[in-house]
Amino acid sequence: MFDWKWDFTIEILPRLILATFNTLMAAGVGYGIALIVGLIFALAQRTPIRIINWSVREAVEFIRSTPLVLQIFFVFYVGPQFDLRLSPWTAGMIAIGLHYASYLSEVYRAGLESVPQGQWEACRALNLSTRRTYFRIIIPQALPPALPGMGNYLVGIFKDTPMLSVIGVAELMHTANALGSESYRFLEPYTMVGIIFLAISLPTAFGLRTFETWVSKTLGMSKSKK
Amino acid sequence: MTYAEFLNEHGARLIDGSIITVQQTILAALLAIAIALVMGLMRLSSNYVVRSSATVYIEIFRGTSLLVQLYWIFFVLPLFGITLEKFTAGFIAVGMNLGAYGAEVVRGAIQSVPKGQYEAALALNMSPFSRMRRIIFPQALILMLPPWGNLFIELLKATALVSLISVTDLMFQAKQINGTTYLSIEAFGSALVIYYIMSRLVITPGMRWLERALSRHMSRA
């Protein structure tokens, strides 16, 4: 019943490891996009222009409450209708980047809102520029409460990259599917994919927690020195 | 082709798909709640074996992708003699995955019930079971409802993946319509809107209502 074949496992391992790099790249690029666009989403909700606030807020809500896999299909197939051909990689990165950007914007927002109002008022009283207010006062205080959420979504985006296989991005899941249909053996490819995911996501989650305590300690110390 | 014509021609399929999605969501939610309660309580057990087996379950299901778990359950389990219907495999995978996330919610909520409540129940000579059932759990329930609201939305979204093992849910129907008509915006756009309606106009208000009803009930008792 349990016919695990070690020689087959070793045979497919190089291809799976190669695909792991693609998965990591997809997660990295997607997260990079999400970090930047998420910040834009978060700041756009703080502008005094009502129509921008409202439309960004609704867009974020919409993206957050619909399935990522459907968004990936949407981005990939809607382009050609407007004579805009996106490669699977481009479409995938846009979809996953925007999806996580809307999650991260909520994390940023919560972080910014956790800074007491008095800090803003003190900055104004001291006549600090907007730039200095953000970089020296607000962000150092908003960052520690935002870090756990940001870390969770880093692991989250990594675990969602298999969805990119549906439009043919050659990441881990896609490779495992291909290996499975070439050899009619699904046990080893799918199990190995699971193990590779665990082997990356568990240490990452642990590393992120260590990093969080380090950051809040470092920032905390710099505050007490002043 | 106007959108009205599109709906006229393909609306029925979108509705059929939505019904399957709702069924998958409800079944997966029931399974997730059951698993979350069992695993969450097991995580708090004083027995090392019980506690660590729950930890292993939670870490495995939270550490890998739902898609990997779904494919594993659907394609690999038959090799062990367990063959599941695709519909069953779909909601079981989604339920087991979200159940692992829910277990952490349950554990967190039970742990945030003040210590004094345990001590008072102990002082009143309540048995461990009735202490949990009558004192600790009702208070934890109120704390865990808001995170469960988010989890149910995640769960609804996660059911879209079952289309990849050809369960004919909303996502699947949208893909089929797109494949035959090439009307991508209409097909995928309508599906997106239906998912949005289900999560924002059904799950979110439903959970709000439940929270209010429960806290009213608790304050009266």
**Looking at domain A6-225, which of 3.30.565.10, 3.30.70.141, 1.20.950.20, 1.10.3720.10 is its CATH number?**
1.10.3720.10
Give me the CATH number covering residue B204: 1.10.3720.10
Q: What is the pLDDT of residue A91?
A: 93
DSSP string covering B28-91:
HHHHHHHHHHHHHHHHT-S-HHHHHHHHHHHHHHHHS-HHHHHHIIIIIGGGGT----HHHHHH
- In SS3 terms, A147-160 reads as HHHHHHHHHHHHHH
Contact B164 A193 (CB under 8 A): no
- Cβ within 8 Å, pair B76-A61: no
Instruction: Specify whether the CB–CB gap between B194 and B11 falls below 8 A.
Output: no
Check if B3 contacts A (Cβ < 8 Å): no
Structural domain range at position B17: 3-220
B81 alpha-carbon distance from chain centroid: 27
A202: nearest CA in chain B? Answer: B63
* ipTM surpasses 0.95: no
For A16, A67, A77, A166, B192, the CA distances from A98, given in Å and listed in that order, are 27, 12, 16, 18, 15
Chains A–B, number of C-beta pairs less than 8 Å apart: 114
Of B157, B163, B178, the CB nearest to A77: B178
Interchain proximity B192–A163, CB inside 8 Å: no
Nearest-neighbour CA in chain A from B48: distance (Å):
21
Q: Is A206 on the interface with B (CB under 8 A)?
A: no
Cα separation, B40 vs A134, whole angstroms: 41
The lowest-confidence range among A210-214, B46-50, B167-171 is A210-214
- Contact (Cβ atoms closer than 8 angstroms) between residue A77 and residue B178: yes
What part of A 19-38 touches B (C-beta under 8 Å)?
none
Partner B contacted by A207 (CB < 8 A) = no
Asked if the Cβ–Cβ distance from A69 to B171 is below 8 Å, we say yes
Q: What is the pLDDT along chain A (226 residues), one digit of tens a residue?
A: 568 888 888 989 999 999 999 999 999 999 999 999 999 999 899 888 999 999 999 999 999 999 999 999 999 998 888 888 889 999 999 999 999 999 999 999 999 999 999 999 999 999 999 889 988 898 888 888 899 899 999 999 999 999 999 999 999 999 999 999 998 888 999 999 999 999 999 999 999 999 988 888 887 755 444 3
What's the structural domain count of chain B?
1
CA distance A117 to B195: 37
Residues of B in contact with A194 (CB under 8 A): 60, 64, 68-69, 72
Domain extents in chain A: 6-225
pLDDT for position B81: 85
